[in-house]
A and B are shown apart, each in its own frame.
Chain A
Amino acid sequence: DTGVSQNPRHKITKRGQNVTFRCDPISEHNRLYWYRQTLGQGPEFLTYFQNEAQLEKSRLLSDRFSAERPKGSFSTLEIQRTEQGDSAMYLCASSQAGRGEAFFGQGTRLTVV
């Protein structure tokens, strides 16, 4: 599968623990996006990178959230001190600069208990 890859697919964690998700975009794509999707809602934008630069962050991204894309390839999204409200599907997408079509991964489903 040469599409966007996300790991892990599922994560169950206890409240207060830290979690980290990984996204591997399509190799020639220089833009990478993170979205969050809660039950019954559409995806909500969190942040995006162009190459290694984080160019935009949503107000949804609290101080407990941090995203990196150190070499302009894969990206990680870390949530510190998880809360039950963080339970959601975290989606990663990638695209080429200047084109609106984004290709999505299958997501990481986080459950905070």
Chain B
Amino acid sequence: AQRVTQPEKLLSVFKGAPVELKCNYSYSGSPELFWYVQYSRQRLQLLLRHISRESIKGFTADLNKGETSFHLKKPFAQEEDSAMYYCALSLNNAGNMLTFGGGTRLMVKP
């Protein structure tokens, strides 16, 4: 069965510092990987997906199939990046149901 692991429940950094939120997955096939973000009092929303290979709000994520990882990175954190971040995978032949990790709370201190 597929599984997504986010080893850090909380990540605290200072404004301007680099950020890396870790995500590892287990699945023998070729999943589609996503990062979802939930800002305070807002709904869960898509941040980026690996097939798009784009940078959103300065965040990037590279799928490393060898290490089965999809870490989220940003070179310079901003206070408005403070939020809950969830890594998720979708099985392309399974109706796009998402398997989520447990989430990492990012706190960016001024």
Residues of chain A whose beta carbon lies under 8 Å from any beta carbon of chain B: 3-4, 31, 33, 35, 40-45, 48, 50, 55-56, 91, 95, 98-107
Within 8 Å by CB of B102, from A4, A42, A100, A104, lies: A42
In the complex, what residue of chain A is closest to B51 when comparing beta carbons? A100
> A32 CB to closest chain B CB, in angstroms?
11
Interface size class of B (residues with CB under 8 A): 20 to 34
Residues of chain B whose beta carbon lies under 8 Å from any beta carbon of chain A: 4, 6, 9, 32, 34, 36, 42-46, 49, 51, 86, 88, 90, 92, 94-103
- Are B95 and A104 in contact, with the CB atoms below 8 A? no
How many angstroms between the C-alpha atoms of A44 and B2 in the bound complex?
12
Residues on B with C-beta less than 8 A from A33 are: 97-98
In the complex, what residue of chain A is closest to B96 when comparing beta carbons? A100
Within 8 Å by CB of A44, from B45, B92, B100, lies: B100
- Are B98 and A43 in contact, with the CB atoms below 8 A? yes
